[in-house]
Structures are given as C-alpha cells and as structure tokens.
Structure 1
Amino acid sequence: MRASKHIVRPYGDTTGDGMVQMSFTLPLPHDKRAEGAALLLAKKMGMDPAMVVHAKAMGPDFTFFVVYGAVQHLVDVREVQVVERDYPLLSPKEINAAIKKGLHRPLVVVGACIGTDAHTVGIDAILNIKGFAGEKGLEYYSEITVVNLGAQVSVPDLVEASRLAKADAVLVSQVVTQRDAHLTNTREMSAAFREAFPRDKRPLLVVGGPRFDESMTAELGVDRIFGKGTTPGEVASYLVSSLVPAPSTRKKAG
C-alpha cells in the first residue's frame, strides 16, 4: 500500500473521484446540436460521465464550452520529468556583489520580443525596474546594464544590437505561439547568433514564454528556457551562475 502514494488521480468533489474540468471551442453555432457535439468529444477523450456546465456563443459560428466529467486515468508521479533549478537563488545584493567581483564590469543584457510578437509584458516583467511578483526587474541591479529593444524586433537587428552592446546575454520573450511561431522564431534566432559569433564569444541565449517546454533547450539551440511565472530574481541568479566566474560567492541551492 505504501506505493499508492505515488499514484494520483484528479478530483473535484471527493478524493479520487477523477473529476476534471476542460474548456474548448467548436466551430458550431450555439444550439443543442453543438452541446451534443461537445459531450461526444468529451466522451471520446475519456470523460464519462460528462456534462456541459457552460456554453457561450462566440459570434454566429462558434461556441465556447466548459465540460465537467470523470476520467479513469491514473498518474504515477515517479514518471514525471521536469527541469530542476540547478543554480542558487541569490538576493539583489549578492548578485551585484558577484558581478562586481567576478567580472569587474557591468553584466550586459539585451532583451527583445522577436518576429511579429508585439506582447512586451513578458520581457518587461523581467527587465523593467517595476519587475514582477514583488521583485524588481534587472534594471534595478546596479551591476547589470539592460538594453530593452521592445517588440517586433527582427533577428538581424537583435544580432547587431547585441554585437554593438557587447552583450553577455540575450533574453527573448515569445508570447505569440500560433502555428508554433515561438519555436520557429527561436530556432532562427539561435542559428543567426551561432553564425554571427565565434563559439567562445556568443552571448548566452535565454528564451521565455508561457508555451515553451523547458526541456527543449538543445532542440531549439538556446542555453536556457524559462516558463510562465519566472521572476527577475530567478533570471538574474541564472545569469550569475552561468557568466560570473566566482563560485566562492555562491550559496547552496535552497
């Protein structure tokens, strides 16, 4: 019975009842036929019994649904694979001290949203002094020089700006993900930097966004991927761990 603690099932009302809630849109006008189609889809996905708890017309030809139902699937948490943080989290004071002692100059970070992506909320959350989740952005750090290029920056312009700024790291945010645009743009960006810089001179390439898989760093040709909820302190701590040759200033990861 001890092994059962590794097996989990979702629940909504009582532990282990398997109840889940799912939302989706169908290209059908809102009527009983559309609701029937939503239930049929839910059952084909393994939800049984299932019920439509919300349906709303999205214009004349589409309907948004929320379906609630039970699934029989179990999850063994021992099979879950995640990218663990492999560097210590440092305070702003520790980060500034490490950069000053290890680099003897400011650490230069260039950030941008590339391609047609005009959503700067992600890159601004990391770079702007106002920050995110109660943490100030990288502009707050006295030993970090930030060049924020903003939105819809072409890859050639990002490469050139990074060269002119003598960037130590390049941070790219991608929020627009239709047709995997974030993956295409990231591959283009990493290839361009590898072509433009010698291996030992290339800046650290970091990308982030809500739809990235953190395990795809090698596939996308970048050094690190950050997902949703990442804070400026996590990014700054990673940059120090990767770019500053001062292991004596680092603490154990907590």
Structure 2
Amino acid sequence: MTATHASREASTTPQPTVVRPYGDMTGDGMVQLSFTLPVKHDKRAEGAALQLAGKMGLSPALLVHAKAMGPSHTFFIVYGSVNHLVDLAAVEVVERDFPLLPAKDVNASIKKTLRRPLVVVGACIGTDAHTVGIDAILNIKGFAGEKGLEYYSEITVVNLGAQVLVPDLVEAAREHGADAVLVSQVVTQRDAHIHNTTQMSAAFREAYPAGEVPLLIVGGPRFEEGSAAKLGVDRIFGKGTTPGEVASYLVHALCTPTPPERKSA
C-alpha cells in the first residue's frame, strides 16, 4: 500500500465515539501521572503513592519514579491501567464563533466602523510577573509567525506590563479611553487567576456606567474556556492563542453592526 493510499484510507476511517487510553497496546487503559506528597522520601512514602494511585483507579499501579523534593516532600510518577472509558460525544468544546481576518481586513473594518484607532490596554495583574503571554499578543514581534497588535495601523496598544494593581488598570483604561482590556494570568496557585479576574471585572463594573465597560478579555493556560460569564468577562483565550485570533475577535465584538451582548450591559 502506498503512503498516499494509506493516508486517504486513514482519513476516511470512521472515528470511534468511545475510546480508552493506551500505552503499550490499543485498549490497555495505561496512563501515567505525576504528583507530590508532603512526606519525606522513603519506602513508606512510595507505598503511600501506590495507595493513592489505587484509590484513583489505577490497577495494577507501578511506581516508576520517586525523588525527594527537600526534606519533607516527594515527587512521584506512577504508571498503571484504568478501566474508565471516554465518551467523545459528551465532550464540550468552545468553538470559535468569528472568522479569522488578515491584518489588512482588521484595519479596514476598524477604520470603517469606528473611524478612529481601536484602543487596547493590556497588563498582567496582581502578583503575576509573567509577561511572555501578554507581550506575545501585544508586542509587534508577535507569536507563531504573526505580528502582535502593535503591528496593526488601526490599533493603539498600551502595555502596562507586570504586577499591575486592578485600580491602576481601571484608571489606565479610563485615561486612554480603552475599547478593550487584555489581561494575562499565568500564576494559578490557590486559584489566583480566578480571584484576580473576578476582582478585575467587578472593579470595571463599579467604575463604568452600565453598558460602557470596555471589552474584558483574559488569557492564560489554566482558564476554562467556557467560564467567561461566570468570571464576568467577555472572552477567555487559552494557550496557543495568536495575535491574529485576538485581533479578529476585537473586530467581531466591537466593529460588527450588531455586536454580541456584552456581559457588562
């Protein structure tokens, strides 16, 4: 069978609706997971790791790695088989509901609709000092081969950087007349990204009249894409988001004749 024939056959093979993980052979249910226990590294700690793996449904479970993390913590990797099945039909996915536009179309739409530059204020809030994500979207050098929002002639970018207090973000948004506020959150210990985001959305609702709150967008690797309404923001972007996606969403939300209902309205 030629490679082309094999590829064509694979593309036409129906996808299963129920699947099981596998490691060595199809359907063996093998998975690998890692975790840390607050115990010093000894035989008792290794036994505790295997006990936890058993309670999680791994049977049999094999301890493949254990390493002390200081005097009172141990990091483990376990490998074992699970009986659980995955129903693909029950998986909920947030689909992109706007078209991806080239830069020239983004600029043209903003110029035609707003008749002025679209103002975007971006920052990492709270104690978060990880600016790689926000810089990848805003800075002209961009990400994944795409130029950042600074590249767009009809977008004015104000990048406040890291560890910005929420009141300062609100003040900057008001000062610059922000149409949209982009916030990146990478630090997730104790759900810091959730607390910071809800605090931010509440502060903007308090500072602006109803219906005049800027578009609130957050991004980070640990956000649940379907939780925008619960957090009080308009959009959540996950890992791998490109500047072009954000620019296209800004046009979709702010430059369409009848923009979608805003959470702040």
Which category of TM-score, normalised to the shorter sequence, fits these structures? Answer: over 0.9
1:82 is paired with a residue of what secondary structure? Answer: coil
Residue 249 of structure 2: aligned partner: 238
Show CA shifts across 1:196-216 (max 9, x none).
112232110001111111111
Residue 125 of structure 2: aligned partner: 114
Show CA shifts across 1:46-94 (max 9, x none).
0011111111111121111111111000011111112111000111122
Residue 98 of structure 1: aligned partner: 109
1:36 is paired with a residue of what secondary structure? Answer: helix
CA distance in 2, matches of 1:129, 1:94: 18
Conserved in 2, the CA contact under 8 Å of 1:98 and 1:246? Answer: no
Does residue 146 of the first structure (1) align with residue 157 of the second (2)?
A: yes
Q: CA deviation at 1:245?
A: 2.8
Residue 89 of structure 1: aligned partner: 100
Conserved in 2, the CA contact under 8 Å of 1:117 and 1:151? Answer: yes
Residue 162 of structure 1: aligned partner: 173
TM value normalised by structure 1: 0.93
Residue 141 of structure 2: aligned partner: 130
TM value normalised by structure 2: 0.89
Query: Map of 1:27-42 to 2, 5 A cutoff?
Result: 27-42=38-53
Query: Map of 1:243-254 to 2, 5 A cutoff?
Result: 243-245=254-256
Runs (5+) with no aligned partner, structure 2: 1-13, 259-265
CA distance in 1, matches of 2:145, 2:45: 44
Residue 186 of structure 2: aligned partner: 175
2:136 is paired with a residue of what secondary structure? Answer: helix
Show CA shifts across 1:90-117 (max 9, x none).
1112211211222111110000111111
Q: Which has the higher contact order (CA 8 A, sep 6+)?
A: 1
Q: CA deviation at 1:246?
A: 5.7
Conserved in 2, the CA contact under 8 Å of 1:23 and 1:66? Answer: yes
CA distance in 1, matches of 2:252, 2:134: 20
Q: CA deviation at 1:25?
A: 0.7
Q: What residue identity is the alignment partner of 1:173?
A: S
Runs of 4+ with deviation above 3 angstroms: none
CA distance in 1, matches of 2:105, 2:23: 44
Structural RMSD (CA): 1.6
Q: What residue identity is the alignment partner of 1:51?
A: L
Q: CA deviation at 1:4?
A: 8.7
CA distance in 1, matches of 2:141, 2:118: 19
Q: What residue identity is the alignment partner of 1:226?
A: F
CA distance in 2, matches of 1:134, 1:32: 49
Show CA shifts across 1:183-241 (max 9, x none).
11111111111111122321100011111111111111100011111111111111110
How high is the sequence identity, in percent, across the aligned residues? 76
Specify which of 215, 227, 232 is matched with residue 226 of structure 2: 215
Runs (5+) with no aligned partner, structure 1: 248-254
